[in-house]
Amino acid sequence: MSIFSRKADQAAPATADTFDAPTSVLTDVTGDYTLDASHSRIGFSARHAMVTTVRGAFKEFEGTAHIDAADPSKSWAKVTIKTASIDTGSADRDGHLVSGDFFDAEANPEITFVSTKVEKVDDDTWAITGDLTIKGVTQSLTIAFDETGSAQDPFGNTRLGFEGGTAINRKDWGLTWNAALETGGVLVSEKIRLDFDVSAIRNA
């Protein structure tokens, strides 16, 4: 699948002009990192009834990564998501999503991503290709991540931030449930957008 870069996506909400300027305390980001789930977000959005966008996120996940700035090909990342932690703000919708019609969370409690290739696209963009496994189906995809800054927090942690995203077709992972609309089209779009806001702590 093709790389999706937020910098080239005019539909993505502006962040540079909305928030304070990012900091950058790291001149070399090489190191081992652990995802700080409490300050990160793995989100998604889909069209509903062909008229609006519904957004949600997974609330429980963990991940680790190794970054090699000198040789990006030696970098890697792994993420594990608890399928049942899906949250779209509607208990009924969430219940449907974790059922056999969609994720079948009871039989497939985890969604995983394991990188297979890492490249440095430019000074602050990384392209991570990996295997995404959902509901027992594994497909490769590439996600472009932009470095958004680094900082030393008040608790002594060195943090590195990334933002990224991509678009997938959910049918490629066996998520095929849908319902036809009388006016044409379907209830849930096949195309799903994934968005990642990542805060990673460098291991001591």
| pLDDT tens, position by position, 9-67 | 444 444 556 777 888 888 889 999 999 999 999 999 998 877 889 999 999 999 999 99
Write down how long the chain is: 204
Distances (CA, A) of 45 to 24, 72, 183, 192: 30, 30, 22, 6
Domains detected in the chain? 30-202 (2.40.128.110)
Q: Are 42 and 196 in contact (CB under 8 A)?
A: yes
110-122 and 125-134 strand pairing: antiparallel
Ranges under pLDDT 70 in the chain: 1-17
3-state secondary structure of 38: helix
Distances (CA, A) of 58 to 48, 63, 72, 94, 185: 19, 13, 28, 11, 27
pTM of the full structure: 0.86
